[in-house]
Structure formats: structure tokens, C-alpha cells
Copies of this chain bind each other. A is one copy, B any other.
């Protein structure tokens, strides 16, 4: 590939980006598409729709860029939670470190590579891109010192930036913990593997155990029920109830307040089920004994103080470590009820099996892809399907099929990966939605690093030589041979996969098509059944981290990549800010747990860069430079170890000091009793479908009652109720209705 080809490719991609961005700036002004582009805003405020047409709606504008830039971190935090802040900090870190790297490498390393006298120069437009890589530097050249120096400066700056980011995010996480005093999950412990005793129910065992050993701090508990059967029974009952009531309900259609009250009313008996059996009063349709049979060996235990819950979650409860397994409970909206019922004894088998499955999938992913790709070539297809022979006479079609079919197949296979990894994480038995997403994120990250980075480097360039790695000592040399020659491929990868995917992210083609299909084909005007999504951290974090890896590894070897990457990161910063503010809703979050993943991956990228540089210096016969790289590797690893000890524990546990002080404050304010009251109704395993159906019929009226007007397409699972604040709003509504009735 030469410079003119690269510039052409860049030009095409820039054009695509500009067109898509303009398209977005027009589409977002269309009131009918407000569901697609302002899901987050919709969830917050009830929008007032005005379908007035004006010319301004068809003019592309850059106002969204300005808005995205102006937004403060507090606004991001309130819209997307701590995870969104962490995600944007990752992008800020990337922009900073690659700005530094670009300045150093383009002004110091690039000229040295270009005037390196190893290859012959042509005219600049048809100059090969290899001339700009380290491959052009002479054997044993003194100039390799400059490369080594650049590596030192980049590693040093990266470590400083990583340290400051880790420190500030740790502070933010602590502020997040202390800033949510009404968080019921801090008082709640999830206990699993409750032992079965023939005489008593699980609920009795739990009460006995905790009121015995945690007498002073145990408040109450709530059993988890087998969701499949109970949910089905309840839905059936509700359907029949609704059928019976449907005729009279239609008559009152105008009185929206009354109907919503009714929805809440019908939901009442089913809500009670999920709280403690003794509080299940006569209104319940199911006998206690029926429910008891549906009890899982898992329960949520509520404690009087946060510290007591923390202590109970950390201790080994029983002499048999497979019984009474405790964990801090996830937040009510975050909890993944289906997995709570999984027998704890099966959990480790599930975990091992999914680990094995995902490792095998990662390793052997390329095998079926290459096989399918090789079959997809026309000459082989003709052998299987003889009727295709007619095509072979038309040259254009041949080019189209042989040129595009393999890459289309690769793309299709790549689209399978995120849902599959999400499935693996679900099967693994994650108890929270956010934990499942984080686990999927790590899996996709491994997948991308292995199947995009290493597979491309090894299969694309040096498969014949790499086949014979005779010892561990040879790995740097093999990498050093393979990596620089893969530079041109990854440069176009940044252009196509990076830039183009950002534009697609902005336009949201899938949601747009889904919306248009509903509107014009199904003629369903109002209902946003496509729903709004939560932010896909699992795909986006891993994609950005792959680009970080590319940036580090190619920084001193092929510095020409850095400007393209820098543009990608700047664009990503704007686009994701906009998306977090406008499109995605935040139902659950990990509380900044993505940062340790980012940190570790960045350190991995740094060390890999240094190992490759070690190999390159060795190949170029500069022993001094290569021996100076070894202490750098050791220092980077030591830095990582220090950060792990200094910051990591805050991300795995809560500091006792902080929780105790929060407990004191609540006790002094006299807020504790109120919190205890709210705890009892914080976790609902089952939501009745009635409220959903009511909403489906008249969404605009009911959305104010239930905050769950948004729907999480990835997370179709037994529903969850809104937060405490929204519950109280509903209660207030009930009171208002009652007051009206009295009058």
C-alpha cells in the first residue's frame, strides 16, 4: 500500500463519516424519531411533542457537538452514572497519552524511519508505507536510541496518567458510595445454598440462623422464589383477571388517573408475595404452602446497619463452605433474579464449563471462519452448485463475490460474538446484570485481542515462520518480525472499523430501521416497543481498548497510525458523550468497576509494546537499546503491582471506616428507621404484567406512574420494580385518588 492509496481510503472514510454525521444532525431534529435519539431524555422527562414543520429541520448543524462539549462531568454522572464517567475518562486518558505519543513519534521517530536508508525511496505519492515503519532503519543504527527514548517517555507518561486516573476514579467511587445514602443494597446480603432441613421451610431456617448468630443486626429477610413457575402462574391468573375485567375497563378509558390507580391496585396482591410470608395477608391468591414449595435455597437478608451487612457478606459462615454462602446484594434494579435460583452446587460446574467453552470458542473461532471463507470462493462454490457456472462469465460479479463475500462472512461471524459472550456470562451464574455485562466485556476483550490482533499478525504476515517457535526466548523476535508488516492493515482497520463504527453508533441504524418498520409497516404510531437500551459497555469498552492496544504497539514501529487513532479517540469522545446524554438510559451500574479492567489492559498493552520493541531492537542488532528495554518492562510490572495494592481493594470491597461513618450519620439524623421501613419494599422479584399491559394500551398516560417506561432489550428477564422514590410517588398518587373519592 502506498501513500496515495492510504489517502484515498482515508478520504472515502472521511466522506462517509461527514455524510453520516450530517444525516444524524438532521434526523435528530425530527420529532417522530425522538424515541430513537433521545431515549435517555424521554426516560427523564415527559417530552412535549410538536409536529410543526420548519425548514431548519432539514439543515445539518453541529449544535450537538457543542452541547456534547459543554456538558460537565456532573451532568454525565447524573445521566449515565459512574460507569459512564469511567468510560469517558478512559477516552480522555487515550487522547492525552496518544497526543503525547503522536508529538514524540511524528517529530522524532518518523523522520528517523523515513531517512533510514534501508529501503529505496520513490516519489512521495507512490511511496510505500513500509518506508515510514521501523523496518526502514539500518541494522545496528545509532538512531535506535531515539526509538528507545521515545518508548521510555511514552511508558513513563502512560504510567503517570494511569496513576492519576486510578486515583481520581477511586475517589469518585468512594464519593459514589457515600453519595447514595438510601441505597438498599448496602444493607442487604444475598445468602445462597441454604441447607435443606425436612422439618422446616427455607424461610424458617434463614430466620433461625440469622436471628441466632446475627441477633443484634438482623432486621428481616425475603426469600427468592423459582421465577419460572411462579411467574407463569401469575401471568396466567392475571390474563384471566384482565379478560373478565376488560369490558368495564374500556368504558373508563378517558379517566387516566383512575385507571392507573386500578393498575396499581391489581398489582398489589402479587407484590405482597415477594415479601416475607408472614406479611402475606389474606388478599394473596396463593396459600403459604404453595409458595413454600417454590422457595429457592436463596434469600435476601436485611441488616440494621451497612457495616453489619458488610461483615456478614465477607465472613465464612459455616464449617461447610458450600453452605450459607453470603455476598453483598446487588442494587434492586441490578439484581438478576433467574440466576439466584441456580443451585450453588452446580454453579462451579457452570462456571468451569462456560470458561472452557469461551476459551475453546476464542481459540478455534478462526477455524470455521476460514473454512467458510474458503468455500465462499467462486470456483469452489461452482463445484458444489453447478448452476452458478453462468456467473463466471461476468467479470464484475466475480469480483463482487470473491471480494466481498469473505469479509461479509467475517463480519457476520463477528456479530455473533457479543450476544454469545453475553449468553456465556448469563450461564456463568452472575447475580447482577451489571456483573454479567462486565464479565461479557472481559470475554469480548480477550476475544478481540486474540482474534483480531494476534490472529491478524500471525496469520496475515508470518504464518510460515511463526509455526516454529522453538523457545520462549524467540517470542519477542517473532513478534518483532510480524508486527511492523501488519501496520498497513491496522491503519485501514482504524479507518473502517473505528471511524465508520462511530458514525453508525451515532445514527443507530438498527433502532432507526426498527422504528421505521413499526411506524410504516405495522402502523403502530405511539408505542416504542423497540425500546431504549442501556449503554453497551461490553462491546464499546473492549473495542476502545483494542484501539489503545493498537496505538501503543504501533507507536514507535509505525508512527503514521497515531494521527488516525487520535482522530478516532476525539470523535469517540464527542459521540459517546452525546449518546450517554441523549440515547442510552442507566438502569444499573457497576460503580466504576470497569476501570480496573481498563488499567490492566493498558498495562498489558504497554508491556506487549515493550516486549515487541525488545525484539525489534534485537533484530536490528542494537544490543544496548534492547538491554535498556528490560528494566523498563520490570518497572512497568512493578508499577502495576503497586497500583493493584494501592487501589484495587477499594473496587472489590467497601472500606469499613466509610460505611461506619455513614451509619453514624443516619443514626444521628434519625433516618435509620425510615431506611429500615423502605428496605422491606425495596426488592420485588415479580412485577405484575397488568401494569405493563395497561401501559402498552395507553403509554403516554402510564409512563408517569411507572418509571419503567423504558425497556432493556438485552435483558429480557423477570421484571423489576422502580426505585423507592418512584414507589413513593405511586403511593402519593393513590392518596390523591382516595381524596378525590372521599370528596
Encoded as 1 (CB less than 8 Å from any B CB) or 0, chain A from 634 to 648 comes to: 000010011001111
Using A315-B310, A315-B311, A653-B316 as known contacts, say yes or no to A321 and B470 having CB atoms under 8 A apart.
Answer: no
Cβ of A654: which chain B residues have Cβ within 8 Å of it? 316
- Decide: B314 and A641 in contact? CB cutoff 8 A: no
- Decide: B470 and A638 in contact? CB cutoff 8 A: no
- Decide: B316 and A315 in contact? CB cutoff 8 A: no
Query: Does A228 interact with chain B (Cβ within 8 Å)?
Result: no
Query: Does A352 interact with chain B (Cβ within 8 Å)?
Result: yes
A350 to chain B, nearest CB (A): 12
A208 to chain B, nearest CB (A): 12
Chain A stretch 619-676: residues in CB contact (< 8 A) with chain B: 638, 641-642, 645-650, 653-658, 660
- Decide: B646 and A321 in contact? CB cutoff 8 A: yes
Pick the most buried of A174, A311, A648, A657: most chain B CB atoms within 10 A of its CB: A657
Chain B residue nearest in CB terms to A645: B348
- Decide: B349 and A638 in contact? CB cutoff 8 A: yes
- Decide: A647 and B321 in contact? CB cutoff 8 A: yes
Cβ of A470: which chain B residues have Cβ within 8 Å of it? 467-470
Encoded as 1 (CB less than 8 Å from any B CB) or 0, chain A from 463 to 493 comes to: 0000111110000000000000000000000
Encoded as 1 (CB less than 8 Å from any B CB) or 0, chain A from 144 to 187 comes to: 00000000000000000000000000100010000000000000
Partner of A657, one of B314, B318, B650, B653: B318
Interface residues on A, range: 35 or more
Query: Does A322 interact with chain B (Cβ within 8 Å)?
Result: yes
Cβ of A653: which chain B residues have Cβ within 8 Å of it? 315-316
Tell me the bound Cα distance from A471 to B645 in angstroms.
36
Cβ of A656: which chain B residues have Cβ within 8 Å of it? 213, 315-317
Cβ of A390: which chain B residues have Cβ within 8 Å of it? none
Cβ of A319: which chain B residues have Cβ within 8 Å of it? 170, 174, 650, 655, 657-658
Cβ of A647: which chain B residues have Cβ within 8 Å of it? 321
Tell me the bound Cα distance from A363 to B295 in angstroms.
56
Cβ of A317: which chain B residues have Cβ within 8 Å of it? 655-657
Cβ of A174: which chain B residues have Cβ within 8 Å of it? 319
Chain B residue nearest in CB terms to A344: B645
How many copies of the chain does the oligomer comprise?
2
Tell me the bound Cα distance from A647 to B316 in angstroms.
12
- Decide: A641 and B316 in contact? CB cutoff 8 A: no
- Decide: B660 and A213 in contact? CB cutoff 8 A: yes
Partner of A648, one of B321, B467, B641: B321
Partner of A321, one of B314, B638, B645: B645
Tell me the bound Cα distance from A660 to B655 in angstroms.
23
Tell me the bound Cα distance from A213 to B170 in angstroms.
22
Tell me the bound Cα distance from A650 to B660 in angstroms.
28
Tell me the bound Cα distance from A172 to B655 in angstroms.
34
- Decide: A655 and B322 in contact? CB cutoff 8 A: no
Cβ of A349: which chain B residues have Cβ within 8 Å of it? 638
Tell me the bound Cα distance from A213 to B311 in angstroms.
13
Tell me the bound Cα distance from A617 to B170 in angstroms.
54
Tell me the bound Cα distance from A649 to B322 in angstroms.
9
- Decide: B467 and A655 in contact? CB cutoff 8 A: no
Cβ of A645: which chain B residues have Cβ within 8 Å of it? 321-322, 348
A274 to chain B, nearest CB (A): 28
Chain A stretch 309-351: residues in CB contact (< 8 A) with chain B: 310-311, 314-322, 348-349
Tell me the bound Cα distance from A125 to B649 in angstroms.
66
Tell me the bound Cα distance from A679 to B352 in angstroms.
45
Using A213-B656, A470-B467 as known contacts, say yes or no to A316 and B638 having CB atoms under 8 A apart.
Answer: no
Chain B residue nearest in CB terms to A351: B641
Partner of A314, one of B315, B320, B469, B648: B315
A205 to chain B, nearest CB (A): 13
Cβ of A649: which chain B residues have Cβ within 8 Å of it? 316, 321
Partner of A348, one of B170, B316, B468, B641: B641
Chain B residue nearest in CB terms to A174: B319
Chain A stretch 292-319: residues in CB contact (< 8 A) with chain B: 310-311, 314-319
Cβ of A650: which chain B residues have Cβ within 8 Å of it? 316, 319, 321
Pick the most buried of A320, A469, A647, A658: most chain B CB atoms within 10 A of its CB: A320
Cβ of A314: which chain B residues have Cβ within 8 Å of it? 311, 314-315
Chain B residue nearest in CB terms to A647: B321
Cβ of A315: which chain B residues have Cβ within 8 Å of it? 310-311, 314, 653, 656
Chain A residues proximal to chain B, CB less than 8 Å? 170, 174, 213, 310-311, 314-322, 348-349, 352, 467-471, 638, 641-642, 645-650, 653-658, 660
Task: Given contacts A316-B653, A317-B656, A321-B650, list 13 more A-B pairs with CB under 8 A.
Answer: A170-B319, A174-B319, A314-B314, A316-B654, A316-B655, A317-B655, A318-B655, A319-B655, A321-B647, A321-B655, A348-B642, A467-B470, A469-B471
Question: Can you sample 11 A-B contacts with CB below 8 Å?
Answer: A311-B311, A316-B649, A316-B650, A316-B653, A317-B655, A318-B655, A319-B655, A320-B646, A321-B645, A349-B638, A352-B638
Shortest beta-carbon contacts, A-B, top 4: A321-B649, A315-B656, A316-B653, A319-B655
